[in-house]
Amino acid sequence: MKEKVEVVIAQFNSIVGDLCGNTDKIINIITENRSLDIKKIIIFPELALCGYSPEDLLLRKDFSIAVKSSIEKIKENVGSNEYLILGAPNYSEDMSEIWNSAYIMNNKKINHIYDKQFLPNYGVFDEKRYFSKGNSNFVIDINNNKICILVCEDLWNFQNLYEKNLEDIDFLISINASPFENTKVSKRIDVFKKIVEKYNFNLIYLNSVGGQDEIVFDGSSFLMDRNSNLVHRCNTFKEENYKFFILDKEFSNDNTYRVETNTDELEDLYEAIKVGTYDYIKKSNLNGVLLGLSGGIDSALTLAIASDIFKKNDIEAVLLPSIYTSDLSIQLAEEQCNLLGVNFSTISIKDVDNAINNTLKQRFDGLSRDITEENIQARARGLLLMSISNKTGKILLTTGNKSELAVGYSTLYGDMSGSFAPLKDIYKTDVYNLAKFRNKISRVIPEGVIERLPTAELAQDQYDIDTLPQYDILDKILKAFIEEKKSLSEICDLGFEKSLVSNVINMVIRNEYKRRQYAPGVKVSEKSFGRDRRFPIVSRFKY
Protein backbone atom coordinates (compact mmCIF):
# COMPACT_ATOMS: atom_id res chain seq x y z
CA MET A 1 0.00 0.00 0.00
CA LYS A 2 1.39 3.39 -0.95
CA GLU A 3 2.05 5.80 1.86
CA LYS A 4 -0.05 8.93 2.04
CA VAL A 5 1.37 12.31 2.87
CA GLU A 6 -0.85 14.67 4.83
CA VAL A 7 -0.56 18.34 3.87
CA VAL A 8 -1.67 21.22 6.08
CA ILE A 9 -1.93 24.69 4.56
CA ALA A 10 -2.11 27.40 7.21
CA GLN A 11 -4.00 30.39 5.83
CA PHE A 12 -2.30 32.63 8.34
CA ASN A 13 -2.87 36.16 9.68
CA SER A 14 0.52 37.52 10.73
CA ILE A 15 1.12 40.70 12.69
CA VAL A 16 4.01 42.67 11.23
CA GLY A 17 6.94 42.79 13.63
CA ASP A 18 5.34 40.49 16.22
CA LEU A 19 8.00 37.81 15.85
CA CYS A 20 7.28 36.25 19.25
CA GLY A 21 3.53 36.11 18.70
CA ASN A 22 3.80 34.82 15.14
CA THR A 23 6.40 32.23 16.19
CA ASP A 24 4.14 30.93 18.97
CA LYS A 25 1.20 30.64 16.54
CA ILE A 26 3.36 28.76 14.03
CA ILE A 27 4.63 26.32 16.66
CA ASN A 28 1.09 25.78 17.98
CA ILE A 29 -0.15 24.88 14.49
CA ILE A 30 2.74 22.44 14.05
CA THR A 31 2.01 20.85 17.44
CA GLU A 32 -1.75 20.66 16.92
CA ASN A 33 -1.28 18.83 13.62
CA ARG A 34 1.38 16.42 14.85
CA SER A 35 0.98 12.66 14.43
CA LEU A 36 3.75 10.09 14.59
CA ASP A 37 2.25 7.59 12.15
CA ILE A 38 1.99 9.70 8.99
CA LYS A 39 4.31 11.98 7.08
CA LYS A 40 3.29 15.65 7.13
CA ILE A 41 3.94 18.77 5.09
CA ILE A 42 2.92 21.96 6.91
CA ILE A 43 2.95 25.15 4.86
CA PHE A 44 2.84 28.82 5.89
CA PRO A 45 2.51 31.88 3.62
CA GLU A 46 5.12 34.32 2.34
CA LEU A 47 6.92 36.16 5.18
CA ALA A 48 4.51 34.56 7.66
CA LEU A 49 7.15 34.80 10.38
CA CYS A 50 7.41 38.60 10.32
CA GLY A 51 4.28 39.66 8.44
CA TYR A 52 4.04 41.36 5.05
CA SER A 53 5.48 43.88 4.63
CA PRO A 54 7.93 44.74 7.40
CA GLU A 55 9.39 47.51 5.23
CA ASP A 56 12.42 49.23 6.81
CA LEU A 57 12.25 46.95 9.85
CA LEU A 58 14.09 44.53 7.57
CA LEU A 59 17.10 46.84 7.55
CA ARG A 60 17.56 46.85 11.33
CA LYS A 61 20.19 44.59 12.87
CA ASP A 62 18.09 43.93 15.98
CA PHE A 63 15.23 42.80 13.74
CA SER A 64 17.51 40.42 11.81
CA ILE A 65 18.76 38.93 15.09
CA ALA A 66 15.18 38.40 16.28
CA VAL A 67 14.25 36.75 12.95
CA LYS A 68 17.17 34.31 13.20
CA SER A 69 16.28 33.53 16.83
CA SER A 70 12.66 32.80 15.89
CA ILE A 71 13.72 30.52 13.04
CA GLU A 72 15.96 28.56 15.43
CA LYS A 73 13.08 28.19 17.88
CA ILE A 74 10.69 26.98 15.16
CA LYS A 75 13.30 24.60 13.74
CA GLU A 76 13.58 22.82 17.10
CA ASN A 77 9.86 22.06 16.98
CA VAL A 78 9.87 20.29 13.58
CA GLY A 79 9.83 16.50 13.95
CA SER A 80 11.44 13.76 11.89
CA ASN A 81 8.14 12.95 10.19
CA GLU A 82 7.38 16.58 9.37
CA TYR A 83 8.36 18.95 6.61
CA LEU A 84 7.79 22.62 7.35
CA ILE A 85 7.66 25.23 4.58
CA LEU A 86 7.85 28.68 6.12
CA GLY A 87 8.01 32.15 4.58
CA ALA A 88 10.61 34.34 6.32
CA PRO A 89 13.48 36.75 5.58
CA ASN A 90 16.91 35.24 4.95
CA TYR A 91 19.94 37.35 5.89
CA SER A 92 23.54 37.06 4.77
CA GLU A 93 26.07 36.97 7.63
CA ASP A 94 26.97 40.65 7.31
CA MET A 95 23.37 41.77 6.52
CA SER A 96 24.56 43.12 3.17
CA GLU A 97 21.91 40.99 1.45
CA ILE A 98 18.37 39.97 2.41
CA TRP A 99 16.20 37.47 0.56
CA ASN A 100 12.47 36.85 0.65
CA SER A 101 12.60 33.13 1.26
CA ALA A 102 10.87 29.83 1.89
CA TYR A 103 12.58 27.77 4.59
CA ILE A 104 12.25 23.99 4.26
CA MET A 105 12.76 22.28 7.65
CA ASN A 106 12.72 18.64 8.72
CA ASN A 107 13.87 16.78 11.82
CA LYS A 108 15.03 19.96 13.63
CA LYS A 109 17.16 21.01 10.65
CA ILE A 110 16.95 23.51 7.83
CA ASN A 111 17.12 21.34 4.72
CA HIS A 112 17.10 24.18 2.22
CA ILE A 113 16.30 27.88 1.83
CA TYR A 114 14.62 28.86 -1.43
CA ASP A 115 15.03 32.55 -2.32
CA LYS A 116 12.32 34.36 -4.29
CA GLN A 117 13.46 35.04 -7.84
CA PHE A 118 10.97 37.64 -9.10
CA LEU A 119 10.74 40.74 -6.91
CA PRO A 120 7.65 42.88 -7.59
CA ASN A 121 8.22 46.62 -7.63
CA TYR A 122 4.85 48.06 -8.67
CA GLY A 123 1.72 49.20 -6.89
CA VAL A 124 2.09 48.56 -3.16
CA PHE A 125 5.16 46.38 -3.71
CA ASP A 126 8.65 47.72 -3.04
CA GLU A 127 10.66 44.51 -2.82
CA LYS A 128 13.68 45.65 -4.81
CA ARG A 129 14.33 48.19 -2.08
CA TYR A 130 14.89 45.38 0.42
CA PHE A 131 15.54 42.02 -1.17
CA SER A 132 18.19 40.43 -3.33
CA LYS A 133 17.07 38.23 -6.20
CA GLY A 134 17.22 34.45 -5.90
CA ASN A 135 18.87 32.61 -8.77
CA SER A 136 17.88 28.94 -8.65
CA ASN A 137 14.85 26.70 -8.56
CA PHE A 138 14.25 24.15 -5.83
CA VAL A 139 12.57 20.74 -6.05
CA ILE A 140 12.26 18.38 -3.08
CA ASP A 141 11.32 14.71 -3.17
CA ILE A 142 8.87 13.62 -0.46
CA ASN A 143 7.61 10.05 -0.70
CA ASN A 144 8.37 9.92 -4.43
CA ASN A 145 6.50 13.17 -5.04
CA LYS A 146 8.58 15.81 -6.84
CA ILE A 147 7.56 19.10 -5.24
CA CYS A 148 8.65 22.54 -6.45
CA ILE A 149 8.46 25.48 -4.02
CA LEU A 150 7.99 29.07 -5.18
CA VAL A 151 7.23 32.40 -3.54
CA CYS A 152 4.32 34.53 -4.82
CA GLU A 153 5.48 36.54 -7.89
CA ASP A 154 7.54 33.56 -9.07
CA LEU A 155 4.37 31.70 -10.04
CA TRP A 156 3.06 34.64 -12.10
CA ASN A 157 6.38 34.45 -13.99
CA PHE A 158 6.67 30.65 -14.11
CA GLN A 159 7.43 30.53 -17.83
CA ASN A 160 10.46 32.77 -17.24
CA LEU A 161 12.04 30.52 -14.60
CA TYR A 162 11.06 27.20 -16.16
CA GLU A 163 14.12 25.00 -16.67
CA LYS A 164 14.90 21.33 -17.06
CA ASN A 165 14.81 20.74 -13.29
CA LEU A 166 11.09 21.67 -13.29
CA GLU A 167 10.13 19.10 -15.91
CA ASP A 168 7.68 16.49 -14.66
CA ILE A 169 7.17 17.97 -11.20
CA ASP A 170 4.16 16.49 -9.42
CA PHE A 171 3.22 19.40 -7.17
CA LEU A 172 4.00 23.08 -7.15
CA ILE A 173 3.62 24.83 -3.80
CA SER A 174 3.31 28.60 -4.03
CA ILE A 175 3.38 30.61 -0.80
CA ASN A 176 1.96 34.10 -1.14
CA ALA A 177 1.16 37.48 0.38
CA SER A 178 -1.13 38.61 -2.41
CA PRO A 179 -3.30 41.65 -1.53
CA PHE A 180 -7.01 41.76 -2.27
CA GLU A 181 -8.31 43.78 -5.19
CA ASN A 182 -11.71 43.72 -6.84
CA THR A 183 -11.99 40.64 -9.11
CA LYS A 184 -8.46 39.48 -8.22
CA VAL A 185 -9.66 36.18 -6.68
CA SER A 186 -11.06 34.97 -10.00
CA LYS A 187 -8.16 36.50 -11.94
CA ARG A 188 -5.62 34.43 -9.98
CA ILE A 189 -7.48 31.22 -10.71
CA ASP A 190 -7.81 32.02 -14.42
CA VAL A 191 -4.10 32.87 -14.80
CA PHE A 192 -2.89 29.81 -12.90
CA LYS A 193 -5.23 27.47 -14.77
CA LYS A 194 -3.37 28.32 -17.96
CA ILE A 195 0.00 27.67 -16.32
CA VAL A 196 -1.17 24.34 -14.89
CA GLU A 197 -2.60 23.27 -18.24
CA LYS A 198 0.66 24.08 -20.01
CA TYR A 199 3.10 22.52 -17.53
CA ASN A 200 0.96 19.70 -16.12
CA PHE A 201 1.40 19.77 -12.33
CA ASN A 202 -0.86 19.88 -9.28
CA LEU A 203 -0.94 23.32 -7.68
CA ILE A 204 -1.09 24.15 -3.97
CA TYR A 205 -1.67 27.90 -3.70
CA LEU A 206 -1.47 29.35 -0.17
CA ASN A 207 -2.20 33.01 0.53
CA SER A 208 -2.01 35.20 3.61
CA VAL A 209 -5.13 36.62 5.22
CA GLY A 210 -5.84 39.76 7.24
CA GLY A 211 -5.18 43.48 7.20
CA GLN A 212 -1.86 45.34 7.42
CA ASP A 213 -1.94 49.13 7.29
CA GLU A 214 -3.90 49.86 4.09
CA ILE A 215 -3.47 46.41 2.53
CA VAL A 216 -5.82 43.51 3.16
CA PHE A 217 -5.06 39.90 2.22
CA ASP A 218 -8.04 37.78 1.27
CA GLY A 219 -6.72 34.23 1.74
CA SER A 220 -8.76 32.35 -0.88
CA SER A 221 -6.08 29.64 -0.98
CA PHE A 222 -6.84 26.75 -3.31
CA LEU A 223 -5.83 23.38 -4.70
CA MET A 224 -5.84 22.71 -8.43
CA ASP A 225 -5.19 19.34 -10.02
CA ARG A 226 -3.01 18.82 -13.09
CA ASN A 227 -6.12 18.97 -15.30
CA SER A 228 -6.69 22.52 -14.01
CA ASN A 229 -9.76 21.49 -12.02
CA LEU A 230 -10.29 23.46 -8.85
CA VAL A 231 -10.22 20.79 -6.14
CA HIS A 232 -10.68 22.99 -3.09
CA ARG A 233 -10.87 26.65 -2.18
CA CYS A 234 -10.36 27.93 1.34
CA ASN A 235 -12.44 30.58 3.04
CA THR A 236 -12.05 34.18 1.98
CA PHE A 237 -10.94 36.67 4.65
CA LYS A 238 -10.71 34.03 7.40
CA GLU A 239 -7.85 32.14 8.99
CA GLU A 240 -8.02 28.44 8.22
CA ASN A 241 -5.78 25.40 8.63
CA TYR A 242 -6.88 23.03 5.88
CA LYS A 243 -5.76 19.40 5.78
CA PHE A 244 -5.68 17.11 2.78
CA PHE A 245 -3.72 14.11 1.50
CA ILE A 246 -1.50 13.52 -1.48
CA LEU A 247 -0.87 10.01 -2.77
CA ASP A 248 1.14 8.72 -5.71
CA LYS A 249 1.74 12.12 -7.36
CA GLU A 250 -1.90 13.22 -7.14
CA PHE A 251 -4.37 14.63 -4.64
CA SER A 252 -5.90 11.74 -2.74
CA ASN A 253 -9.52 11.15 -3.74
CA ASP A 254 -10.71 9.96 -0.32
CA ASN A 255 -10.92 13.47 1.15
CA THR A 256 -13.95 15.74 1.03
CA TYR A 257 -13.17 19.01 -0.70
CA ARG A 258 -15.12 22.23 -0.80
CA VAL A 259 -15.17 24.22 -4.02
CA GLU A 260 -16.94 27.58 -4.20
CA THR A 261 -16.45 29.05 -7.63
CA ASN A 262 -19.21 31.66 -7.50
CA THR A 263 -18.15 34.81 -5.70
CA ASP A 264 -20.17 37.91 -4.98
CA GLU A 265 -17.98 40.94 -5.70
CA LEU A 266 -19.94 43.19 -3.36
CA GLU A 267 -19.70 40.64 -0.57
CA ASP A 268 -15.93 40.36 -1.06
CA LEU A 269 -15.64 44.14 -1.12
CA TYR A 270 -17.64 44.51 2.08
CA GLU A 271 -15.64 41.78 3.83
CA ALA A 272 -12.36 43.36 2.72
CA ILE A 273 -13.35 46.67 4.33
CA LYS A 274 -14.45 44.90 7.51
CA VAL A 275 -11.25 42.89 7.87
CA GLY A 276 -8.97 45.79 6.94
CA THR A 277 -10.67 48.10 9.45
CA TYR A 278 -10.78 45.53 12.25
CA ASP A 279 -7.15 44.45 11.88
CA TYR A 280 -5.85 48.01 11.66
CA ILE A 281 -7.46 48.82 15.00
CA LYS A 282 -6.86 45.53 16.82
CA LYS A 283 -3.26 45.10 15.62
CA SER A 284 -2.61 48.65 16.84
CA ASN A 285 -3.81 47.58 20.32
CA LEU A 286 -6.64 50.10 20.19
CA ASN A 287 -10.18 49.55 21.44
CA GLY A 288 -13.40 51.17 20.38
CA VAL A 289 -14.39 53.39 17.47
CA LEU A 290 -15.98 56.80 17.18
CA LEU A 291 -17.47 58.60 14.21
CA GLY A 292 -19.48 61.67 13.32
CA LEU A 293 -22.90 60.61 12.05
CA SER A 294 -24.53 63.09 9.66
CA GLY A 295 -27.60 61.32 8.33
CA GLY A 296 -25.79 60.87 5.01
CA ILE A 297 -24.83 57.69 3.18
CA ASP A 298 -21.07 57.68 3.87
CA SER A 299 -21.24 57.91 7.65
CA ALA A 300 -24.21 55.52 7.66
CA LEU A 301 -22.28 52.83 5.78
CA THR A 302 -19.22 53.39 7.99
CA LEU A 303 -21.36 52.93 11.10
CA ALA A 304 -22.90 49.76 9.63
CA ILE A 305 -19.42 48.33 8.98
CA ALA A 306 -18.29 49.24 12.51
CA SER A 307 -21.36 47.57 14.00
CA ASP A 308 -20.56 44.37 12.10
CA ILE A 309 -17.06 44.06 13.56
CA PHE A 310 -17.12 45.64 17.04
CA LYS A 311 -19.26 45.22 20.14
CA LYS A 312 -22.06 47.76 20.42
CA ASN A 313 -20.60 49.21 23.62
CA ASP A 314 -17.30 49.86 21.83
CA ILE A 315 -18.97 52.09 19.22
CA GLU A 316 -19.97 55.70 19.69
CA ALA A 317 -21.72 57.89 17.14
CA VAL A 318 -21.81 61.66 17.59
CA LEU A 319 -24.38 63.87 15.88
CA LEU A 320 -23.01 67.39 15.37
CA PRO A 321 -25.81 69.57 13.96
CA SER A 322 -25.29 73.14 12.77
CA ILE A 323 -27.84 75.81 11.87
CA TYR A 324 -27.97 74.21 8.40
CA THR A 325 -28.56 70.63 9.56
CA SER A 326 -32.05 69.52 8.58
CA ASP A 327 -34.49 67.77 10.89
CA LEU A 328 -34.41 64.88 8.42
CA SER A 329 -30.65 64.42 8.91
CA ILE A 330 -31.02 64.26 12.69
CA GLN A 331 -34.02 61.94 12.43
CA LEU A 332 -32.24 59.51 10.08
CA ALA A 333 -29.04 59.49 12.15
CA GLU A 334 -30.96 58.77 15.36
CA GLU A 335 -33.01 56.10 13.58
CA GLN A 336 -29.89 54.25 12.48
CA CYS A 337 -28.34 54.37 15.97
CA ASN A 338 -31.51 52.93 17.46
CA LEU A 339 -31.70 50.36 14.68
CA LEU A 340 -28.16 49.16 15.45
CA GLY A 341 -28.35 49.61 19.22
CA VAL A 342 -25.22 51.75 19.38
CA ASN A 343 -24.49 54.61 21.76
CA PHE A 344 -24.91 58.12 20.40
CA SER A 345 -24.87 61.69 21.62
CA THR A 346 -25.83 65.00 20.09
CA ILE A 347 -23.56 68.03 20.39
CA SER A 348 -24.55 71.21 18.58
CA ILE A 349 -21.69 73.06 16.89
CA LYS A 350 -23.64 76.35 16.76
CA ASP A 351 -21.87 77.93 19.74
CA VAL A 352 -18.41 76.80 18.55
CA ASP A 353 -19.15 78.08 15.05
CA ASN A 354 -20.34 81.44 16.40
CA ALA A 355 -17.33 81.76 18.68
CA ILE A 356 -14.85 81.16 15.83
CA ASN A 357 -16.66 83.54 13.49
CA ASN A 358 -16.81 86.23 16.18
CA THR A 359 -13.11 85.75 16.88
CA LEU A 360 -12.35 86.25 13.17
CA LYS A 361 -14.91 89.03 12.63
CA GLN A 362 -12.42 91.90 12.83
CA ARG A 363 -9.83 90.04 10.74
CA PHE A 364 -12.42 89.26 8.04
CA ASP A 365 -13.96 92.74 8.08
CA GLY A 366 -14.81 93.81 4.55
CA LEU A 367 -14.45 90.31 3.10
CA SER A 368 -17.52 88.56 1.72
CA ARG A 369 -18.77 85.26 3.10
CA ASP A 370 -17.50 82.23 1.12
CA ILE A 371 -16.38 78.64 1.53
CA THR A 372 -14.23 79.70 4.52
CA GLU A 373 -17.29 79.93 6.74
CA GLU A 374 -18.50 76.54 5.50
CA ASN A 375 -15.16 74.96 6.35
CA ILE A 376 -15.22 76.47 9.86
CA GLN A 377 -18.25 74.27 10.58
CA ALA A 378 -16.47 71.14 9.33
CA ARG A 379 -13.37 72.03 11.35
CA ALA A 380 -15.45 72.64 14.47
CA ARG A 381 -16.78 69.09 14.08
CA GLY A 382 -13.26 67.76 13.57
CA LEU A 383 -12.07 69.53 16.73
CA LEU A 384 -14.87 68.11 18.85
CA LEU A 385 -14.55 64.58 17.48
CA MET A 386 -10.78 64.50 17.97
CA SER A 387 -11.24 65.79 21.52
CA ILE A 388 -13.71 63.01 22.31
CA SER A 389 -11.33 60.52 20.72
CA ASN A 390 -8.47 61.75 22.94
CA LYS A 391 -10.62 61.61 26.07
CA THR A 392 -12.18 58.19 25.48
CA GLY A 393 -9.34 56.42 23.69
CA LYS A 394 -11.69 55.47 20.86
CA ILE A 395 -10.22 55.69 17.36
CA LEU A 396 -11.94 58.23 15.13
CA LEU A 397 -13.08 56.82 11.79
CA THR A 398 -13.24 59.37 8.99
CA THR A 399 -16.08 58.65 6.61
CA GLY A 400 -15.07 60.15 3.25
CA ASN A 401 -15.15 58.18 0.01
CA LYS A 402 -12.80 57.99 -2.99
CA SER A 403 -14.90 60.26 -5.21
CA GLU A 404 -14.79 63.10 -2.67
CA LEU A 405 -11.12 62.53 -1.95
CA ALA A 406 -10.32 62.57 -5.66
CA VAL A 407 -11.85 65.99 -6.31
CA GLY A 408 -11.13 67.54 -2.90
CA TYR A 409 -14.76 67.66 -1.81
CA SER A 410 -13.75 67.55 1.83
CA THR A 411 -12.30 69.89 4.44
CA LEU A 412 -8.72 69.60 5.57
CA TYR A 413 -8.67 69.30 9.40
CA GLY A 414 -12.46 69.08 9.27
CA ASP A 415 -14.34 66.05 7.98
CA MET A 416 -10.94 64.67 6.91
CA SER A 417 -9.97 64.36 10.60
CA GLY A 418 -9.56 60.81 11.83
CA SER A 419 -7.19 57.90 12.23
CA PHE A 420 -8.61 55.46 9.67
CA ALA A 421 -10.82 55.76 6.59
CA PRO A 422 -12.74 52.54 5.79
CA LEU A 423 -14.25 53.99 2.57
CA LYS A 424 -11.06 55.66 1.29
CA ASP A 425 -10.87 53.46 -1.82
CA ILE A 426 -14.64 53.23 -2.47
CA TYR A 427 -16.25 55.44 -5.11
CA LYS A 428 -19.55 57.06 -4.19
CA THR A 429 -21.58 54.85 -6.55
CA ASP A 430 -20.10 51.79 -4.82
CA VAL A 431 -20.96 53.29 -1.43
CA TYR A 432 -24.60 53.12 -2.50
CA ASN A 433 -24.16 49.60 -3.89
CA LEU A 434 -22.58 48.40 -0.64
CA ALA A 435 -25.30 50.02 1.46
CA LYS A 436 -28.00 48.25 -0.55
CA PHE A 437 -26.05 44.97 -0.39
CA ARG A 438 -25.74 45.17 3.39
CA ASN A 439 -29.43 46.04 3.81
CA LYS A 440 -30.37 42.86 1.93
CA ILE A 441 -28.74 40.83 4.71
CA SER A 442 -30.51 42.83 7.43
CA ARG A 443 -31.75 46.38 7.68
CA VAL A 444 -28.91 48.48 9.11
CA ILE A 445 -29.31 51.74 7.15
CA PRO A 446 -32.65 53.59 6.96
CA GLU A 447 -33.97 53.71 3.42
CA GLY A 448 -34.26 57.48 3.66
CA VAL A 449 -30.48 57.76 3.92
CA ILE A 450 -30.02 55.85 0.67
CA GLU A 451 -32.77 57.68 -1.20
CA ARG A 452 -31.98 61.30 -0.28
CA LEU A 453 -29.81 63.64 -2.36
CA PRO A 454 -26.26 63.85 -0.99
CA THR A 455 -25.51 67.09 0.84
CA ALA A 456 -22.74 68.49 3.02
CA GLU A 457 -25.28 70.82 4.74
CA LEU A 458 -22.71 73.58 5.24
CA ALA A 459 -24.97 76.19 3.63
CA GLN A 460 -28.68 76.73 3.05
CA ASP A 461 -30.25 74.29 0.54
CA GLN A 462 -26.82 72.92 -0.42
CA TYR A 463 -26.45 69.70 -2.43
CA ASP A 464 -23.42 67.95 -3.90
CA ILE A 465 -24.79 68.31 -7.45
CA ASP A 466 -24.53 72.11 -7.07
CA THR A 467 -20.75 71.87 -7.50
CA LEU A 468 -20.13 68.32 -8.76
CA PRO A 469 -21.50 66.24 -11.65
CA GLN A 470 -23.91 63.47 -10.71
CA TYR A 471 -21.87 60.74 -9.06
CA ASP A 472 -22.58 58.10 -11.70
CA ILE A 473 -21.02 60.46 -14.27
CA LEU A 474 -18.24 61.71 -11.98
CA ASP A 475 -17.15 58.20 -11.04
CA LYS A 476 -16.90 57.08 -14.66
CA ILE A 477 -14.60 60.01 -15.43
CA LEU A 478 -12.56 59.43 -12.28
CA LYS A 479 -12.12 55.72 -12.98
CA ALA A 480 -11.03 56.44 -16.54
CA PHE A 481 -8.47 59.02 -15.36
CA ILE A 482 -7.21 57.33 -12.17
CA GLU A 483 -7.55 53.58 -12.74
CA GLU A 484 -7.20 53.44 -16.52
CA LYS A 485 -4.78 56.41 -16.88
CA LYS A 486 -6.73 57.76 -19.87
CA SER A 487 -5.95 61.21 -21.25
CA LEU A 488 -8.44 64.06 -21.51
CA SER A 489 -9.13 63.31 -25.17
CA GLU A 490 -9.54 59.59 -24.54
CA ILE A 491 -12.08 60.28 -21.78
CA CYS A 492 -13.94 62.68 -24.07
CA ASP A 493 -14.11 59.89 -26.65
CA LEU A 494 -16.20 57.96 -24.12
CA GLY A 495 -18.94 60.55 -24.62
CA PHE A 496 -18.19 63.24 -22.02
CA GLU A 497 -17.98 66.98 -22.69
CA LYS A 498 -14.44 68.37 -22.79
CA SER A 499 -15.13 71.19 -20.31
CA LEU A 500 -16.58 68.72 -17.82
CA VAL A 501 -13.67 66.27 -18.12
CA SER A 502 -11.11 69.08 -17.93
CA ASN A 503 -12.76 70.44 -14.80
CA VAL A 504 -12.77 67.03 -13.09
CA ILE A 505 -9.14 66.32 -14.00
CA ASN A 506 -8.06 69.72 -12.70
CA MET A 507 -9.85 69.07 -9.41
CA VAL A 508 -7.99 65.77 -9.05
CA ILE A 509 -4.63 67.45 -9.74
CA ARG A 510 -5.25 70.44 -7.45
CA ASN A 511 -6.11 68.29 -4.46
CA GLU A 512 -3.07 66.04 -4.32
CA TYR A 513 -1.91 67.99 -1.24
CA LYS A 514 -5.11 67.07 0.60
CA ARG A 515 -4.80 63.37 -0.17
CA ARG A 516 -1.24 63.31 1.19
CA GLN A 517 -2.67 64.37 4.56
CA TYR A 518 -5.59 61.95 4.61
CA ALA A 519 -5.91 59.02 6.98
CA PRO A 520 -4.93 55.52 5.82
CA GLY A 521 -7.77 53.33 4.58
CA VAL A 522 -8.47 49.90 3.13
CA LYS A 523 -7.06 49.36 -0.38
CA VAL A 524 -9.50 47.45 -2.59
CA SER A 525 -8.69 48.70 -6.09
CA GLU A 526 -5.71 48.49 -8.41
CA LYS A 527 -5.09 52.23 -8.03
CA SER A 528 -5.83 53.31 -4.49
CA PHE A 529 -4.65 56.71 -3.30
CA GLY A 530 -1.36 56.22 -1.49
CA ARG A 531 1.36 53.76 -2.42
CA ASP A 532 -0.53 52.55 -5.50
CA ARG A 533 -0.74 55.98 -7.09
CA ARG A 534 2.20 58.30 -6.50
CA PHE A 535 2.05 61.72 -8.07
CA PRO A 536 3.93 64.89 -7.17
CA ILE A 537 2.06 67.45 -5.10
CA VAL A 538 3.50 70.25 -7.24
CA SER A 539 3.49 69.60 -10.98
CA ARG A 540 2.81 71.61 -14.13
CA PHE A 541 2.31 68.66 -16.45
CA LYS A 542 -0.76 69.23 -18.60
CA TYR A 543 -3.05 66.22 -18.73
Q: Give catalytic residue positions.
A: 46, 116, 152
**Under a CB-based contact definition with an 8 Å cutoff, are residues 14 and 211 in contact?**
no
DSSP code, position 514: H
Buried b / exposed e over 191-201, threshold 16 CB at 10 Å, is ebbebbeebeb
Report the alpha-carbon distance of residue 377 to residue 458 in Å, rounded: 7
Largest CA distance in the chain: 95
E runs forming strands in 133-278: 139-142, 145-151, 171-176, 202-207, 209-212, 215-218, 222-224, 230-233, 240-247, 250-251
Report the alpha-carbon distance of residue 466 to residue 471 in Å, rounded: 12
**Under a CB-based contact definition with an 8 Å cutoff, are residues 386 and 364 in contact?**
no
Secondary structure string (H, E, C) spanning 298-337: HHHHHHHHHHHHCCHHHEEEEECCCCCCCHHHHHHHHHHH
**Under a CB-based contact definition with an 8 Å cutoff, are residues 246 and 252 in contact?**
yes
Residue 542: phi and psi, rounded to 5, are -95, 120
Neighbours of 262 (CB within 10 A): 5
Sheet hosting strand 343-346, strand order edge to edge: 343-346, 315-319, 289-292, 395-396
Report the alpha-carbon distance of residue 289 to residue 291 in Å, rounded: 7
Q: Which of 128, 215, 127, 211 is nearest to 528 (CA)?
A: 215
Give the three-state DSSP class for 4. Answer: coil
Give the three-state DSSP class for 331. Answer: helix
Measured N-to-C along each axis, helices 350-359 and 371-392 cross at an angle, to the nearest 10 degrees, of 120
Report the alpha-carbon distance of residue 361 to residue 338 in Å, rounded: 40
Report the alpha-carbon distance of residue 440 to residue 310 in Å, rounded: 20
Sheet hosting strand 98-106, strand order edge to edge: 109-115, 98-106, 82-91, 39-43, 5-11, 240-247, 250-251
